[in-house]
Amino acid sequence: MALKLAVTAAVCTYGRPESLERTLRSILAQDPAPGEVLVVNNRPDQPATAELLSRKFPTVRVIDEPIPGLDFARNRALEGSHYDVVLFLDDDAVAEPGWLAATATPLLEDPGIGACTGRVEPLELTTEAQLLFEANGGFSRGAVAIRLPRDSGRRLHGHRAPLIAWAVSVGSGCSLAVNRNTVRSLGGFDVALDLGPALPGGGDHDVLWRLLVAGFDVVYQPTSVARHEHRRELTAARDQIVGHQRALIAMLTKHAIQTPGRGRWGVAAFLGWRLLKPGVRLARRLVGHDPLPAGLLLRMWAHCWRGLAAYPRARRIAARRAEGSS
């Protein structure tokens, strides 16, 4: 009998059966295998996903989450998991061999760790859009393991940085393992984030920061490797780059208000830097030292300032969605 780890591998999906099939095959090929594979279907009104799962993946457990929003789906996964460690993999990503064990082991061995992020490399770099997204930083965070807050005294991109800067630079929700009970005790993922066009991101970094504030460690494990399919169309890639910046500012604005004690000042200082950073990049672009075109940097800068007021509006949208499903 194949060895299984006492963990749940969870995939939140929103109407993408073709890429979901590829993701699930990569999870089911893991050795050791997860104790269960769970799919949260965030578009239960579309039959293609349910048909795929019933036809090709009868051993995969499925839960519907009708409220649109990635963090609604993530919280449904935490609620429905049979295990205390939950590994999230995006439905447009593929797990490399050994991904499951490398991501899960830190949490299985140390209850003081609240989350473990993995290394995310591009699945392909064949279009201008994919090359642009990767040139802007992509999702990979390098080959050096990090444990926060212990390693926050290192230089980040050559500079001293507050802990919040590390929290948003140590991985992404594309490949993320969490202690289920710990995250639920903090209120779960923030459903006002990752709402699609309304606020396209932020939920992963938000939960990492809240874990650190609560006294738990966060680990980046570079031996945990997944590959992400970047957007193939240039417009979609540009929208994603801009949207991520707006969501980051919204998340930082939230925590500049909510973080207790002295940590709030580090968040506020980092927020100020992120508001100015596109302007610095624009100046560098004018002398040929930035990969993004000037027009995209200007758009990014505008969306950063829009992010300052985005979180309260996103909370109202999330509340209306939740009320509409009850």
Q: Mind listing the pLDDT tens digit for each residue in 213-236? A: 999 999 999 999 999 999 999 999
7 touches 86 (CB < 8 A): yes
- Rounded distance between C-alpha atoms, residue 60 and residue 67, angstroms: 21
pTM for this structure?
A: 0.96
Residue 199: CATH number of its domain: 3.90.550.10
What digits encode the pLDDT tens for the residues 304-323? 999 999 999 999 999 999 99
The number of beta carbons lying within 10 Å of the beta carbon of residue 73 is 28
What pLDDT is recorded for position 324? 84
- Rounded distance between C-alpha atoms, residue 72 and residue 225, angstroms: 26
Number of compact structural domains in the chain: 1
Give residue 100's domain range: 4-325
pLDDT in tens, the chain (326 residues): 568 999 999 999 999 999 999 999 999 999 999 999 999 999 999 999 999 999 999 999 999 999 999 999 999 999 999 999 999 999 999 999 999 999 999 999 999 999 999 999 999 999 999 999 999 999 999 999 999 999 999 989 888 899 999 999 999 999 999 999 999 999 999 999 999 999 999 999 999 999 999 999 999 999 999 999 999 999 999 999 999 999 999 999 999 999 998 889 999 999 999 999 999 999 999 999 999 999 999 999 999 999 999 999 999 999 999 998 76
Positive or negative: CA dihedral 109, 171, 192, 61: negative
What digits encode the pLDDT tens for the residues 143-172? 999 999 999 999 898 888 999 999 999 999
Positive or negative: CA dihedral 135, 140, 146, 150: positive
Burial class (CB in 10 A: 0-12, 13-18, 19+), 279: middle
